[in-house]
Amino acid sequence: MGIIKVENIRVFAYHGCLKEETKIGSDYRVDLEIEANLRTSANTDALSDTVDYVFLNRVIREEMNIASHLLETVAKRILSRIFEEDKLVDRATVWVSKLNPPIGGDVERVTIKMTEKRKN
């Protein structure tokens, strides 16, 4: 077993419940940690035997481009796609953070963390 992390993916997107959020957009940060069997790829040195970071980044960017009211919805979509499209992933955790959220205070970010395991 091994862990791959893709950290501090910066995205501009249009999520939120307020009308202004869906019009002007906000800055987001996404972090992802996946668990997979990395022994084979460690031996073969073949990209086809591991989880491709480019794939993970692409899924995150594509799902962040779909406007949603809640960050929970975005996180769930990201996890669902990763499990559907890459059979090597056994477990994944995603953090989706809205930077400088409009919640009436000096708040750096709000973050949703969601973890899922592969269902057999």
Q: Model's pTM, two decimal places?
A: 0.93
Which among 115, 55, 59, 62 has a CA at the least distance from the CA of 91?
115
Tokens of 16: 């939120």
Lowest mean pLDDT among 19-23, 67-71, 108-112: 19-23
Lowest mean pLDDT among 27-41, 47-61, 102-116: 102-116
Residue with tokens 């995603």: 94
- pLDDT tens digits along 77-88: 999 999 999 999
Instruction: Give, for 10, the enclosing helix (H) or strand (E).
Output: strand 2-13
Q: How far apart are CA 76 and CA 105, in angstroms?
A: 27
pLDDT at 120: 73
pLDDT at 55: 97
Q: How far apart are CA 42 and CA 115, in angstroms?
A: 25
